[in-house]
Structure 1
Amino acid sequence: MNITVTTDAKKWFKEEMQVKSGEAVRFYVRYGGSSPLHDGFSLGVAKDEPAEPAVSIVEDGITFFVEEKDIWYFDGHDLQVNYNESLQEPHYDYIK
């Protein structure tokens, strides 16, 4: 599994979540909602520190990661974090 974060999405994390270089953003499984991968589950996001990262990348000094306990959610897909201009928020694509 790989994580990619577009430039516009990184800008959103910096401005809206006030994430700075040296900090980390975790993508995690939330109970509730829906996703193209699993009905009844959705993707959450939070500023957090890695404990047991399964996958991580560093972009502009910010670590984006998924913990080992949440890797099942992605079902072999890569996570692509884009920015939805009309909604002014991140949009998540799952690429096989």
Structure 2
Amino acid sequence: MKITVTDKALTCLQEEWGFEEVTSVRVYGRYVGGGGDPYALGIMKAESVPGGLAIRTVTQGVTFFIEEQDLWHLQEKELIIDAQGIDIQFVLVEASIGEQ
């Protein structure tokens, strides 16, 4: 499992949300309602990276992380955080061998 953040996503966060270097961003699973998949991913600005950290990546000084309690949503997947205009998109793909 790993997190990849595209340049478009980082630019979106920096411009639209005012994220700067030395910012931490938590990625988490959340319940959104019924349907085929009642769960989705969300992001929020975090003050620091917690001790229950499971996955972390740093992109241009911004730390993106997932806590152990939220790993259930990403089992055997790679998360790519991208953007379409001002909308952040979460793309889950099967993890490469050796990254699970």
Fold similarity call, TM over 0.5: yes
Report the TM-score when normalising by structure 2.
Answer: 0.83
**3-state DSSP class of the match of 1:39?**
coil
Cα 1:34–1:53 shift into 2, 3 Å: farther
Q: How many residues align structurally?
A: 92
The 10-residue stretch of structure 1 (70-79 or 38-47) with the greater mean CA deviation from structure 2: 38-47
- The AA in structure 1 aligned to 2:72 is W
CA distance in 1, matches of 2:84, 2:29: 21
Cα 1:14–1:69 shift into 2, 3 Å: same
- The AA in structure 1 aligned to 2:44 is A
Decide which of 46, 57, 60 is 2:44's aligned counterpart.
46
Equivalent pairs: percent with the same residue? 32
In structure 2, runs of 5+ residues without a counterpart are 95-100
Cα 1:79–1:20 shift into 2, 3 Å: same
- Give a deviation string over 1:45-78, Cα, whole Å, max 9, x none: 1001221210011111000111110011112101
Instruction: Say if 1:21 and 1:61, in contact at 8 Å, map to a contact too.
Output: yes
Q: Which residue of 1 aligns with 2:32?
A: 32
**3-state DSSP class of the match of 1:19?**
coil
Q: Which residue of 2 aligns with 1:57?
A: 57
Larger radius of gyration: 2
Tell me how far 1:33 sits from its aligned partner: 4.2
2:70 corresponds to 1:79 = no
Report the TM-score when normalising by structure 1.
Answer: 0.86
CA distance in 2, matches of 1:33, 1:44: 14
